[in-house]
Structures are given as structure tokens and as C-alpha cells.
Chain A
Amino acid sequence: MKHIKTLNQANLKETAVKGGCGECQASCQSACKTSCTVANQKCEHKK
């Protein structure tokens, strides 16, 4: 494409169907705990 560059393979919907096993780290958003914001968490199945 000339006008658009897509940065990622967008497959969020697919991950909704396959995901949800709950094995990944909890993700507190709060400032008092740098545990994790969710967007930078890793899925346990994609190592």
C-alpha cells in the first residue's frame, strides 16, 4: 500500500476465542505497584 502502513497482525478477536486460560501474571494498574499494565504483559503461551 502506498498510503497506509499497518504495524501489526491484528488478531485480537482470534485471541478472544482462544484465550482466557488465566495462567498469566496479574496486572495491577496502580501507581503504587509496578506490577504491570496490561498491554505490556506476556501471554504464557507465546514464549
Chain B
Amino acid sequence: MMIHQYKLNGYNIVMDIHSGAIHVVDDIVYDIIEKLTPPLADNCPEELYALAYSKEDIDQAYAEVLELYKAEQLFTQDDYARFDKLMTVSPIKSMCLHIAHDCNLRCKYCFADTGSYQGGRSIMTAETGKKAIDFLIKHSYGRRNLEVDFFGGEPLLNFGAVKEIVEYARSKEKEHNKVFRFTLTTNGVLLDDEKIDYINKEMSNIVISCDGRPEVHDRMRPRVDGSGSYNSIMPKFKKLVEKRGDKEYYIRATFTKYNKDFTEDVLHFYNEGFEQISIEPVVTDPKHPYALTEEDLPEVFAEYDRLAAKLIEMRKNGEFFNFFHFMIDLDQGPCAIKRLRGCGCGNEYVAITPDGEVYPCHQFVGNPQWKMGDLDSMEVNLATKETFARSTVYGKDECRECWAKFYCSGGCNAANMQYRGNILKPFKLACDLEKKRVECAIMIQAALAE
């Protein structure tokens, strides 16, 4: 069994991890649950009467706790290990196409070494991209919904190939009974009307990169000549989103040590007319001056609290924005299997380089020891696939015992590799941030349920 309880923004929250139940409780129940270890007796245990409440209140509160316990909504047993056999090698259904290993910006925190991925600058030919589509069709077996993400570097540097690849994939849908969903991530520099219309027609989701306030953005996302890029991209992003209608998009930012007050950047986006907002912490080597480290956590946590409070206040005023990391659907979320399986990197998901090499995911590209196949042979290394298939929540000792496991899904293998030398060892800084965001997200649900 596993309980996580915490107090935030005036709410006492008790999470019963293995049933998924979330309870908002008063102080008595909060204190009682803290003292209990199952199995629970029908009668209130003597030691609870030591709590600073009347006997009557304690009896009543205990009765409610007991009722939930019997309904398997509290102190529920962990019996998920039996689903382990489902955590095996799966068809590939999702692919990241590195359409251009090149970029027209020089973002300081770029994990891809400003687009080149530690190799030379190069672009993917339409031929290679089409082969990648054939590869995905082949390796997806019976899976119907397939995802292709156009990634870079900057994919608009090679937009002709993007279009050819999309058309090719569409032409194969019927014959193979597949549905392709395309997504694209762009810095916006090369957007024009024609590209905007094409993207809005073909891409089921688009991620537009901007860091928020102009001075924050321009500091980290300069052009090659060092000048800022905010003024040229912002009008294009607005146009794209205006024309997009109901289709999904995210404006996404990276926050660093320089803007730990990122609530201001969220509000900047909101004021500029964006509703779907994502801001993520930079993950990078602590040697960089802009890196976030342990010592920044208290401030960053306080900022997440501030943002959560702001979101609640605005929602209650009828002002809507969606912050990606606070989105949570407590009833209709994914199944437990999906939650336990994790990101699917190297198993359900792969990345393809401009040269047609296959890697477990975009973050492993550039490390030749992780190469797991190529488009010439159209094959993937099964041993690598198996390694990643085992990298589930229950395959990682620390994750199995973590209260956030069903919300986090086991973190990022690539970050684990980079910072702890093992895909199965979670990177603590990322865990701390993830857990804080989950706590905020659930507190927001409690507040909005009032």
C-alpha cells in the first residue's frame, strides 16, 4: 500500500496511490491517516485518542476512513507486478524525424548543440523520410494510430521534405489501415502564410518555441549574429494560432536560473493571446551559469505554487489558460498499463537521423553506442528494444517505491543515462520537480472542485 499526503494552499490532500483515489480531508482525518498502518481494525485504535480532538470526532472520522479502506479507496494493495508480462517488446508506433540537423537560432541551452547533435550540420532528404515512413509502417504491425514528429534542429529549414513525407505517408494510410498524426516543433523564424496554412491543415499538434517575455526570450534564444529573435517570431506565432481554430498547439518555453519568476512569462503568453502554455525547466549540466540546481528548488517550488494560485484565481474569474504541467484528468486519464510503461523510448518510440540511423529517442541521437538500427536494413536491434521495454516504472527500483509513479511514468531514460549513468536510475532533480508539479496539479483539482 502507499499513501502520499500533503498540505498545500489550504487543502489537505491524501492520495491513495494504488487505487488512484484522491481525497480532500480535514485536519482530523489527515492526522489519523498519518498514524495508521493497515490492516485496519473495525474499532478505532486506542492510540488515536491521543490526538488533540474530541473522542466523538475521532470516532466519526475513523469510521469514514474505515469505510474508504473497505471500499479499496485507501491503503489499497500494490498488485501491479502481475502486469509485468505486458511490459514487453511492443510495435513501434511513434517516430521522431530529425528533418534538419541545423538551426537558424543559437539557443544557449540547446541539447542538440545548436542543431548539429555533436555531428555535422545536415538535412534529411525526402527519400530518407519516405523510407522512414515505410520503416514505421513495417514495425508498427497491428497498431493503427501512428505518430510522426518533425523535429530538429529547425524543421522549417527543410520544409520541402516535410511536405513530401507527409504526402507520402497519407498516400499509404488506406492500403495499410494506418492513421498518421503529424506534429512539428518550430522556432518560428521561417514561418510564412503558406507554411502556416500547411501546418494548420496537416499537423495535429504544433509546438512553437518562445521563452516568454521579450528580454527573457532574447537572452537565451539569439540569432546566429547574436541579435534577439522575439520581434520576428511573435507576430507569426499569433497568426498561426489565430488561424488554427480548435486544433491543438502549445507555446512552449524553457525556464532557466535567469527567470525563476516564470509565472510572469506564463502571464505574458496569456496577455498575448495564447491559451495553451507549457514552460519547462532547463535540464543541463550544472556547470552552465543558467543551469537549475538543487539550491534553486525552494524558489522554483514557490513559483509553481504562485502559478497554481494564479491559475485558480483566473479560472474562477472565467479567464482560461491551460498550463501543460498542471493538466490532469483524475477520472479519464490513461490506463494503468500506459502509466507504468513510461515514455516508450527505444521500444514504441524511436528517432531517425538525417542519415537514416535509428536511435531510441531524440535525446540519444549523437551517441553512436546507442544506435539501434538503420533504414538500409530496415531492421532494429531486438536486444536494445528489450532493454528499453524493461525500463518501466516497475523496472526501476526507485520508481516502484515512488508515490508519483502513476503520474510521472518513470521519468526520462536519457536524463537518467546522462546524470546517473544508467537508464534505470532516476535523476533526482527532475523527480523533485515532477513531484512538485503533480502536487500542484492535484491541489488545483481540489480547488476547482469546490
Contact = CB atoms under 8 A, between A and B. Distances in A.
Contacts of B333: 39-43
Given A26-B343, A40-B328, A3 B363 contact: no
Interface residues of A, number: 41
B327 interface: yes
B435 to A, nearest CB: 12
B343 A28 contact: yes
A1 B25 CA distance: 10
Contacts of B434: 29, 37
Interface of B: 16, 18-26, 28-29, 60-61, 64-65, 67-68, 72-73, 76, 79-80, 83, 86, 90-91, 93-94, 111, 143-145, 147, 149, 151, 181, 183, 185, 207, 250, 252, 254, 278, 280-283, 324-325, 327-345, 348-349, 361-363, 406-412, 414-415, 434, 438, 441-442, 445-446, 449
Chain B interface mostly helix, strand, loop or mixed? mixed
Interface of A: 1-13, 15-16, 18-20, 22-35, 37-44, 46
Nearest to B26: A3
A40 B329 contact: yes
A45 to B, nearest CB: 9
A8 to B, nearest CB: 4
Enumerate the 8 nearest inter-chain pairs by beta-carbon distance, A residue then B residue, closest first.
A19-B335, A10-B21, A20-B337, A12-B20, A16-B336, A26-B94, A40-B327, A38-B409
Nearest to B205: A35
Contact of A15 (B73, B252, B335, B442): B335
Contacts of A31: 254, 280-283
A31 B206 CA distance: 16
B332 A7 contact: no
B73 A6 contact: yes
Nearest to A38: B409
